[in-house]
Amino acid sequence: MQTRRLGKGNLEVSALGLGCMGMSYSYGPPKDKQEMIKLLRGAVDRGVTFFDTAEVYGPFINEELVGEALEPLRDRVVIATKFGFDIRENSDPRGMTGAPAANSQPDHIRKVVEQSLKRLRTDVIDLFYQHRVDPAVPIEDVAGTVKELIQQGKVKHFGMSEAAARTIRRAHAVQPVTALQSEYSLWWRPLEAEIIPTLEELGIGLVPYSPLGRGFLTGKIDPNAAFDSSDFRSRLPRFAPEAMKANLAFVELLKRIAAAKDATPAQIALAWVLAQKPWIVPIPGTTKLNRLDENLGAVDVKLTADDLGEIDAAASKLTVQGERYPEALAKMVEA
């Protein structure tokens, strides 16, 4: 497995990481624990060293799963988790139920890190993200609190998620930001206007979540299919039947390139993200070993400048139908 360095933070990880959320949360009921432990350890065997979780995934059970699975392999892996939500009964930060509640108060961050360390069965968190910017707390206070945790040896690196360029700059001035995690894929590219240039200037890595468009870009989703109510996508405008039918044009584009490269649409989608910058590390999620193998195969797919030009030219003529989040959750993403 090839490795990449996330910005100037001296954090070296596998070129593809593994997003663990779907094993416990958002995409239907939690999956079988032992099967997921097997998958996580199988990923390490295949060279994956970068694993992404958060306290809200479950909540809590995804961190517990990752902690149990990776405890025997802790010296071989980098674990990223997140803070920033006030997790209460009937309050779901993903908008599944209740209203989202941000909380990045310094005392809350200190409390969360202790709880996450226990669930992850580790004495240090490699990368600690602010999950969403909290408008009630100055970002300087957030960065300063994480700086204290780094000085105390409880955290190694500071990350942010779905933050605006101006906020990233303010945080970075207090405590260098190692990585920004945000959605980025062939069908979600607003980061290219301001965020990616800012990251490049400051030496911050990018960790794209949903690089496969929450599964849509794999070509495996039937646009006529109805998602179960426990599947987060059932609430996303982009996954309404009519929107999915319109967005099939992106899948057809990937299929065309994949046929010429003896690859799959998923591999082309991931290879495209990898080709954008050497400091980008996507974290596609999966709950199946064969899909993990397919995703990892993207590292070996080489897209030439002509390939990338063809993809960009074709994609520029397409318009994504449907918002990526429902209104309540969209408000938690900094513009």
Please state the separation of Cα 305 from the chain's center in Å: 26
Contacts of residue 310, defined as CB under 8 A and 6 or more positions apart, other chains included, come to 257
Which CA distances in Å does 165 have to 23, 117, 133, 143, 318?
31, 29, 12, 15, 26
From the candidates 25, 27, 57, 209, give the one annotated as an active-site residue: 57
Active site (annotated) includes residue 129: no
Q: Are 51 and 80 in contact (CB under 8 A)?
A: yes
**Pairs from 103-109 (Cβ < 8 Å, separation ≥ 24):** 103/134, 104/130, 104/133, 104/134, 104/136, 104/137, 104/141, 104/142, 105/134, 105/136, 105/137, 106/137, 106/141, 106/142, 106/144, 106/145, 108/83, 109/83, 109/142, 109/145, 109/146, 109/149
Residue 59, preceding peptide bond in cis (omega within 30° of 0): yes
Residue 51 bridge partners (DSSP): 18, 79
Q: What gap in Å lies between CA 163 and CA 182, rounded to an integer? A: 8
Q: Are 159 and 209 in contact (CB under 8 A)?
A: no
Please state the separation of Cα 84 from the chain's center in Å: 15
The residue assigned the tokens 């779907």 is 22
Just list the catalytic residues. Answer: 57
